[in-house]
Amino acid sequence: MLRIKFILIGDTRVGKTCIINQYTNKEFKVEYKTTITADGDKQFKEIKVGNKQVKLEIWDTAGQERYRAINKIFMNKAKIAAIVYDMTNQKSFDNLKNWYNELKDKSDSVKVIGIIANKSDLYEEKVINKEEGENYAKDINALFFETTAMDYESVAAVFEGLTKKYVEMEEKKGRIKQEEELKSQKKVEKKKEEQERKVEQLEISKHTNNQNKNKSKECC
C-alpha cells in the first residue's frame, strides 16, 4: 500500500483541525481549542485512488505564532501540503505567501500543493473572493479548493483531489522511467546486433579468403 504524508499549514483559527476532524471522524466542533504541537498531530485514513490503495498520514500543526517555528520533523518526507486560509479573514490570506515560502525553505519532498479557502458557510462575512484565491493558487502552481469544515464532501474533495494529482504524477514518472529503460535496453540490443553482424562479416570474409587460398593452391 502506498503511504503518503499529507500536511496542513496556515494561520491560527483558519480551521485546519476542523477540516481534518471532518475528514477522519465526520464531525465538526464549534468550540475552539488551539493546536499547540509544533511538530504535528497525526491521523490516518485509507482511501482508493484509481486502482491504488493509499494510506494517508495527515499531520496537523499549530498556526499560532508562538508555536509556529515548524520543525523539520513536521515537514520531513511530506509529499502533499494544503495551505489553508479563512475566506472571512484578510490576514490569513495575506499570510499564504509566508507559509508557501516556509514550505519551500524547509521541504524539498513536497510535490503537490493545495490552497484551501475555508469557511464557505460564512459567505455573508466573506472578504476574499474566489478569483483571488484561484489566482494565487495558479501563481504557485497549486490546486484550489473551497471548503467548509461542516461539510464532509467539501473537505474530502481536498484530500482526494490532491492525492489523485500526486499519484498520477508518480505514475507518470514511473511510466517515463519505464520508457527510458526500454529505450536504453533497445540501444544495448542494437549495439549487440551490430557487433554480431561485424563478427559474421569477419567470418564470411575469413572463409572466402581461405577458399581463395585453397583454389590458388589447387591451380598450381
Ligand X SMILES: Nc1nc2c(ncn2[C@@H]2O[C@H](COP(=O)(O)OP(=O)(O)OP(=O)(O)O)[C@@H](O)[C@H]2O)c(=O)[nH]1
For the chain, what is the largest distance between any 2 Cα atoms, rounded to a whole number of angstroms? 114
From 11, 17, 137, 144, residue interacting with Mg ion (rule: CB under 5 A) = 17
Reduce the DSSP state of residue 108 to 3 states and report it.
Answer: coil
Cell of 35: 493546536
From 8, 20, 22, 35, residue interacting with Mg ion (rule: CB under 5 A) = 35
- Nearest approach, Cβ of 174 to ligand X (angstroms)? 35
Q: Nearest-CA neighbor of 19 among 158, 206, 128?
A: 158
Q: Does 92 bind ligand X (CB under 6 A)?
A: no
- Nearest approach, Cβ of 63 to Mg ion (angstroms)? 6
Dihedral, 124, 128, 132, 137 alpha carbons, nearest 10: -100
Query: CB under 6 A: which stretch of 15-23, 127-135, 156-164, 168-176 binds ligand X?
Result: 15-23
Cα(205)–Cα(195) distance, rounded to whole angstroms?
A: 15
Report the length, in residues, of the chain.
220
Choose the contact partner of 5 out of Mg ion, ligand X, none; CB within 5 to 8 A by kind. Answer: none
Site residues, ligand X (CB under 6 A)? 12-18, 29-30, 32, 34-35, 62-64, 118-119, 121-122, 148-150
